[in-house]
Amino acid sequence: IKDLPQLSNVIAIDHSRLANQAEEPLLPSKVIMFHDPVLESSLIEKERLIALDMPLKILVYMDENGDSNVIWNQTRYFEERYNVSFTVEEKQQYDEAMSDVLNGVPESALNSFTSDKMAQNDVITIESELSLEETISKALEVISRNDDVTIFKEIDYQKLAAQNDVKLPPTYLIMYGAPSPGGKAMKQAQTLGLDAFPQKLLVWQNEMG
């Protein structure tokens, strides 16, 4: 990732290390997130909720057989979940970004989900009576009250898009998680470490403000 000029490293979360610290032993598992600002801005412009599945990411983990695996989402996952259609160019840009990152990874380690089917209405949306800034501040305050919860990253996608000449209404992503319950869940399905964990909260403003 460091050698690819169009990408920037955002954060790597070592699920297994955090789970082990919380006394929930977990096989090696790490999610690596990285920015392709131009591509991400384009996708979020198409459907703001896609920000919940950004930045781009891969999950590296060891299964019960001791084999190393790398898994990531295909474009059809986003199309199914958010009821959108990507252009041929957008699909190509996404596939190229992932291919560049995975260059050099043994073919035997590459994995994919058996199904990309996803319920379209699995996102809970609550209208806030506060301003955007107040909503973000309140959300961070509530999350921070939990001693076992860590805030991993905050991303201002409106600002990121503006840097790439794309106009987005306010779109702010907060990534957070609690290692103990997360570790318990991932024992049953390690691939939850790609999409379910860390947890995400998206604060966004529609055209009506």
Instruction: Dump pLDDT digits (tens) for 121-162.
Output: 578 899 999 999 999 999 999 999 988 899 999 999 999 899
Tens digits of residue pLDDT in 51-99? 999 999 999 999 999 999 999 999 999 998 899 999 999 999 999 999 9
pTM: 0.89
For residue 163, what are its two tokens?
């840097």
Q: Would you kindly state where each structural domain of the chain is located, as residue ranges?
A: 8-204
Calculate mean pLDDT across residues 5-19.
85
Distance CA(77)–CA(10), nearest Å, equals 22
pLDDT at 120: 55
Give strand ranges (E) for the chain.
8-14, 29-35, 56-62, 68-71, 150-156, 171-177, 199-204
Q: How far apart are the first and last CA of the chain?
A: 37
Calculate mean pLDDT across residues 102-114.
78
Distance CA(43)–CA(114), nearest Å, equals 24
User: Confidence class of residue 8 from pLDDT cuts 50, 70 and 90?
Assistant: confident
138 vs 181, higher pLDDT: 138
- 114, 123, 112: which is closest to 194 by C-alpha? 112
Distance CA(29)–CA(42), nearest Å, equals 30
The sheet with strand 29-35 has its strands ordered as 8-14, 29-35, 56-62, 68-71
pLDDT at 112: 66
Q: Enumerate helices (H) and strands (E) in the chain, giving the number of each.
A: 8, 7
Cβ atoms of 46 and 83 closer than 8 Å: no
β-sheet bridge partners, residue 11 = 33
Question: Given a cut of 90, is residue 107 above it in pLDDT?
Answer: no
